[in-house]
């Protein structure tokens, strides 16, 4: 989170709001919001039947005239990010940035991202090889120093829990 928050701060968004793509990620999104000094909004999804497809039916929180930052742990198709971005723009968000820890990126995800209102997608390099060519909208943040420190601490039999404090 510190690496991703630093990348968000470098973008210099005006009046940001952090957006959780669903209620399940809200607790972690709240930590991003706290660290960035921004309010939190939550996308409310409804899943019809037993399928994989969910539809965002509401955005809980104020997003109008704000720069929205969707935060999530991973994305494969970018579908949830794009749907949330569409709903944020429909509700008056000035811009949408997406921030994801692990970008898995399946075939078609970059085309979906390019057609979306998402201005930038910030991801870590936790997944090195990508099966698709990345969009110009994708910015990669290296977490190599974090992994190096964790490996060193494990080798020296030191705690790694300090690496995950906020």
Which residue numbers are catalytic? 45
Give the whole-angstrom CA distance, residue 5 versus residue 36: 7
CB 26 within 8 A of CB 39: no
Among 117, 66, 88, smallest CA distance to 20 is for 88
63 touches 15 (CB < 8 A): no
φ/ψ (deg, to 5) at 19: -120, 125
The tokens 């991703």 sit on which residue? 4
Q: What secondary structure letter does DSSP report for 24?
A: G
How far apart, in Å, are the Cα atoms of 23 and each of 4, 13, 28, 34, 59?
21, 24, 10, 17, 11
């Amino acid at each position: 989170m510190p690496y991703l928050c630093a990348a968000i701060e470098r973008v210099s968004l005006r009046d940001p709001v952090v957006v959780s793509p669903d209620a399940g990620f809200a607790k972690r999104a709240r930590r991003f919001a706290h660290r960035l000094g921004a309010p939190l909004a939550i996308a409310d999804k409804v899943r019809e039947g037993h399928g994989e497809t969910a539809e965002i039916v509401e955005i809980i929180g104020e997003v109008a005239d704000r720069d929205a930052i969707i935060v999530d742990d991973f994305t494969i198709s970018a579908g949830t990010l794009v749907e949330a971005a569409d709903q944020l723009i429909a509700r008056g968000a000035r811009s949408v940035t997406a921030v994801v820890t692990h970008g898995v990126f399946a075939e078609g995800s970059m085309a979906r991202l390019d057609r979306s209102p998402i201005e930038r997608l910030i991801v870590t390099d936790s997944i090195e090889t990508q099966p698709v060519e990345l969009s110009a909208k994708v910015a990669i943040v290296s977490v190599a120093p974090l992994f190096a420190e964790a490996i060193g601490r494990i080798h020296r039999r030191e705690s790694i829990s300090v690496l995950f404090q906020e």
